[in-house]
Structure 1
Amino acid sequence: MEKELNAEIYNQILELSEVGNALADQDDFRAARTKFEEALALLPEPKTDWEAALWLYASMGDMDFLSGRYTEAAEALSRALNCEDGATNPFVRLRLGQSLFEQGMHGEATEHLLRAYMLEGSEIFESEDPKYFHYLKTNVKDIN
């Protein structure tokens, strides 16, 4: 059963997210993450039951990744993975794989990078550092 947020709370979440996105566009990733956290705090428990949780956790993880905070990124992205549709979200899989890769957790990273590839194809890697796709091609057969 899908629950719907109260319109006032949903609008507050959207406003905070817009501010977070604007801060991210200015490369102020930590301030952006704070806005996404504020938005997430408005969701009732359990947070993973709400559609907005997926993009808020993914946004927080993205900001952590872009800040070089890979452990925190992996934590937020793992939460996103546990939201409805999180397991089939190619961006969540990509960023989680990249975060694990940067922590030297290559086995787990391969799983998530491969799932991102399977969901979206090589296009998902086009705007990323080429090392991730190179790693995947080197370690998994039949990827080109």
Structure 2
Amino acid sequence: MELSNETYEKIVEVCEEADSFIDEDRIEDAINKYLVALEIIPSPKKDWEASTWIYTALGDAYFINDEYEKAKDCFYNALNCPDGISNPLILLRLGESLFECDDMHKAANYLLKAYMLEGYKIFNEEDEKYFNLIKDMI
């Protein structure tokens, strides 16, 4: 199932605005734009590939904004969208969000899955505390 060209183009336009807000450090504005983009997606949202990347971008924005519970919810949603379960970035960010929510058992599970898909390189630009959680498991 594919979105109409008109709907897809509108989503891309709104997400590009949100991305530019991220680049300008206007995180709240970016969050609001990603939420607008998500509203354009027909229900059920989990059925659409665009939802995967919108939930991921929204989760990243919440994470940057230290809103870890909201970030975690977005990454769980992204995980349930097309190709979400096999996306190492989603797994990494979900693990990091769970870490920040002090759910170390689940955090380790998702961080380990991200590592299994991408290796250590996925942790290259991340705080070492995330890799340290799983290094003894490897």
Gaps of 5+ in 2: none
Per-residue CA deviation, residues 42-86 of structure 1 (Å, 9 max, x unaligned), is 011001111100000011111011110000000011000001110
* Distance in 1 (alpha carbons) for counterparts of 2:76 and 2:105: 16
> Match of 1:114, as an amino acid?
L
- Please, which of 97, 100, 103 is the counterpart of residue 102 of structure 1? 100
Aligned to 2:127: 129
Moved more, 57-66 or 21-30: 21-30
- Please tell me the root mean square deviation across aligned C-alpha atoms, in Å: 0.8
What's the secondary structure of 2:43's corresponding residue?
A: coil
Aligned to 2:110: 112
* Distance in 2 (alpha carbons) for counterparts of 1:25 and 1:134: 29
Per-residue CA deviation, residues 99-119 of structure 1 (Å, 9 max, x unaligned), is 000111000000100001011
Aligned length: 138
* Distance in 1 (alpha carbons) for counterparts of 2:92 and 2:27: 18
With structure 1 as the length reference, what TM-score do the two structures score?
Answer: 0.93
Instruction: Among all aligned residue pairs of Structure 1 and Structure 2, give the percentage whose two residues are the same amino acid.
Output: 44
> Match of 1:41, as an amino acid?
E
Gaps of 5+ in 1: none
What's the secondary structure of 1:85's corresponding residue?
A: coil
> Match of 1:8, as an amino acid?
E
Per-residue CA deviation, residues 6-45 of structure 1 (Å, 9 max, x unaligned), is 1111111000111111111112222111111111100110
Q: Give 4+ residue runs of structure 1 displaced > 6 Å after superposition.
A: none
> What does 1:1-144 correspond to in 2, within 5 Å?
3-138=1-136, 140=137, 143=138
* Distance in 1 (alpha carbons) for counterparts of 2:29 and 2:4: 26
